[in-house]
Each structure stands twice: as C-alpha cells, then as structure tokens.
A = this chain, B = another copy of it.
C-alpha cells in the first residue's frame, strides 16, 4: 500500500534538506522524487518555507516528546530538571554534529523567529516551569521568586542550549563542554534548593 502524499512529501523533503541543505532544497526536486508535479505539493504545504518548517518541526516535536517524557516521569523534580537540561543540550548538540544541514535550518528558524520555533520555545519553557513548580511544591526547590528562578535557569543554561551558542563551540572537545555543563547544572540545582534566587 502506497504512502499517503502528505507524509511522503514530508519524508522526501526531510531527506533533501538533510542531504543538500536549505540553499539547494527545491520544491520541484522534492516533488519529482515524490513522484508528482510540484503544483501538487502546494495542495499540502502552502509554500516552500512552510515545507522546510514542517521538516524542522518534525524534529522539534520528537525532541519535545522526549523532554515531556522526562518532565512527566515519577522522579524527584531536581533529577528531572537536570535530565531536562541535559537532554535538550544534547539533542541540539547532536543535531549539529550529525545533521548539520537540518541544524542550520533550525538555527535560521530560531534566528528569524518562525512560528514553529516560537511555539517550541513556549512549550519547552512550560516543561521547565512545570518541573520547577513541582520542585517548589515538593519542597525540593525554595526560590524566593519563582519567575526569577525560572529566568535564571534559562539564562544560565543558554550557552549550552541555544543553536547560535552551540555553533560557537562546535570545535571544543565534547568532554570539556560536558564538564562545564555539568558544573552549571549542579550549581543551578543548589541555587534553586537553597533560596539563593
């Protein structure tokens, strides 16, 4: 049985973006490889930009699901916050290493504030808020100001999470980045736990 057109276009587009990059990604080529004329692609995606965003969004949503699994788990909030930060940092860093073209498309979507990236950011932030609130409810975290505490965690970890920041460290040995990130996480957890923020 034949794959429905929409998913088929999306998977061909994903391959094309990964292999050839944004610059050489064309609706005509995707359509041809999906066995249809380019006009038909526009039945499913309103524009080339929307198709690219859809490809990036598949990755973002998959990453979000893994983060939500962590946030929904039964573990203590401080454990979950640590794993949340680590998982997000690693997901982005691994994408940079393994799928540079897809990473570049994500990076652009973030830089140009596309809807997909703004919405992803909102949802990921909500996961962080949930876990921190859970930690406050359980007494694991005792920040003096909840909103400030959340902003602190996001600002302090920015360097290890944001695509623009990760690009700068692409050539730093992974072990060294890992060590610094683990220091930062340890500090952030202590800061949340001891009412410093």
Chain copies in the assembled complex: 2
* Cβ-defined contact, B165 with A158, below 8 A: yes
- Please judge, given known A-B contacts A187-B196, A191-B187, A191-B196, whether A180 and B155 are in contact too, CB under 8 Å: yes
In the complex, A49 Cα to B187 Cα: how many Å? 42
Residues on the B chain within 8 Å of A155, using CB? 156, 159-160, 180, 183-184
Residues on the B chain within 8 Å of A194, using CB? 196
Determine the interface band of chain A, counting residues with CB < 8 A from chain B.
20 to 34
Against B, the Cβ 8 Å flags (1 = close, 0 = not) of A148-163 are: 1001100110111010
Beta-carbon contacts under 8 Å, A165-197 to B: 165, 167-168, 180, 183-184, 187, 190-191, 194, 196-197
A164 is an interface residue with CB less than 8 A from chain B = yes
Residues on the B chain within 8 Å of A197, using CB? 183, 187
A126 is an interface residue with CB less than 8 A from chain B = no
A111 is an interface residue with CB less than 8 A from chain B = yes
In the complex, A190 Cα to B187 Cα: how many Å? 11
In the complex, A168 Cα to B8 Cα: how many Å? 35
Residues on the B chain within 8 Å of A187, using CB? 152, 156, 191, 196-197
A196 to chain B: closest residue by CB: B190
A92 nearest CB across to chain B (Å): 15
A–B complex contacts, Cβ < 8 Å, 19 sampled? A148-B183, A151-B180, A151-B183, A152-B180, A152-B187, A155-B156, A155-B159, A155-B183, A156-B159, A158-B158, A158-B159, A158-B165, A162-B165, A164-B164, A164-B167, A183-B197, A187-B191, A187-B197, A190-B196
